[in-house]
């Protein structure tokens, strides 16, 4: 029985990816995605902590701030990350 890529289903040379295996192209893509997330997290961490600290002092709970972060993250799903800033478009 031959194995196939867990992402695209292609047969052939497979590289371990988590608990399964992926083809070289999907493995490379996955590594880039992981790096992008880690980079974004590193950029956002000081901003989010400063934002949260200010709003905790204003009386918002940790739970509320987590919910707001989740909503903000979800709102990015419908935006073009390279598109114009909607707050600056006239
Ligand atoms: Zn693949």
Residue-wise pLDDT for 35-90, tens only, equals 999 999 999 999 999 999 999 999 999 999 999 999 999 998 888 888 887 777 65
* CA–CA dist 40, 37 (Å, integer): 5
Report whether pLDDT(1) > 70. no
* CA–CA dist 11, 79 (Å, integer): 34
Q: Is residue 22 in some structural domain?
A: no
Write down the residue that tokens 């974004």 correspond to: 40
Residue 17 alpha carbon to ligand 1 centre in Å:
11
Q: Is residue 61 in some structural domain?
A: yes
Residue 89 alpha carbon to ligand 1 centre in Å:
39
Q: Is residue 56 in some structural domain?
A: yes
Would you state the pLDDT for residue 89?
62
Q: Which residues contact 68 (CB under 8 A, 6 or more apart)?
A: 60
Q: Is residue 50 in some structural domain?
A: yes
Q: Is residue 69 in some structural domain?
A: yes
Residue 35 alpha carbon to ligand 1 centre in Å:
18
Beta bridge partners of 21: 16
Residue 4 alpha carbon to ligand 1 centre in Å:
8
What is the domain extent for residue 57?
45-78
Would you state the pLDDT for residue 84?
83
Q: Is residue 57 in some structural domain?
A: yes
DSSP string for 7-33: TT--BS--EEETTEEE-HHHHHHHHHH
What's the number of domains the chain is made of?
1
């Amino acid at each position: 029985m031959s194995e196939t890529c867990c992402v695209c289903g292609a047969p052939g040379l497979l590289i371990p990816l988590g608990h399964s295996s992926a083809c070289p192209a999907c493995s490379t893509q996955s590594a880039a995605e992981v790096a992008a997330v880690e980079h974004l997290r590193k950029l956002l961490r000081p901003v989010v902590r400063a934002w949260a600290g200010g709003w905790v002092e204003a009386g918002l709970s940790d739970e509320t701030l987590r919910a707001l972060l989740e909503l903000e993250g979800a709102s990015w799903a419908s935006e073009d990350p390279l598109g114009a800033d909607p707050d600056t478009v006239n």
